[in-house]
Amino acid sequence: MALEHAILVSLLEQPGSGYELSRRFERSIGHFWTATHQQIYRVLRRMEHEGRLAVRTVPQHGRPDKNEYSVTASGRTALAHWLHEPIEPESLRHDLAVKIRGAAFDEPAALIDEVARHHRAHHERLARYLAGELRDFTGPDAPTPLDPGRELQHVVLRGGIAFERMTIAWLDDVLATLHRLSAASDTAPPARDEG
Which residues are near DNA by CB under 7 A? 1, 3-4, 17-20, 22-23, 34-39, 41-42, 44-45, 60-67, 93
Establish if 174 lies at the interface with its own copies (CB under 8 A): yes
Q: E strands of the chain, at which residues?
A: 53-60, 63-71
83 makes contact, choosing from DNA, its own copies, none, with CB < 5 to 8 Å by partner type, with its own copies
b/e map of 99-112 (b: 16 or more CB within 10 Å)?
ebeebeeeebbebb
Is the dihedral angle over the CA atoms 116, 121, 162, 137 positive or is it negative?
positive
User: Which residue lies nearer to DNA by CB, 62 or 143?
Assistant: 62
User: Which residue lies nearer to its own copies by CB, 5 or 37?
Assistant: 5
Q: Which of 94, 127, 179, 186 binds its own copies (CB under 8 A)?
A: 94
Establish if 89 lies at the interface with its own copies (CB under 8 A): yes
User: Which residue lies nearer to DNA by CB, 56 or 117?
Assistant: 56
Spatial separation of the C-alpha atoms in residues 176 and 64, rounded to whole Å: 52
**Number of other residues whose CB lies within 10 A of the CB of residue 22:** 18
Question: Residues near 50 by Cβ (< 8 Å), separated by ≥ 6?
Answer: 74
**Number of other residues whose CB lies within 10 A of the CB of residue 44:** 21
Spatial separation of the C-alpha atoms in residues 18 and 43, rounded to whole Å: 10
Q: Which of 50, 65, 173, 186 binds its own copies (CB under 8 A)?
A: 173
Contact footprint for its own copies (CB under 8 A): 2, 5-6, 8-9, 12-13, 30-34, 76, 79-80, 82-84, 86-87, 89-106, 108, 110-111, 114, 117-118, 121-122, 125, 148-149, 151-153, 155-156, 158-159, 162-163, 165-166, 169-170, 173-174, 177, 180-181, 184-185, 191
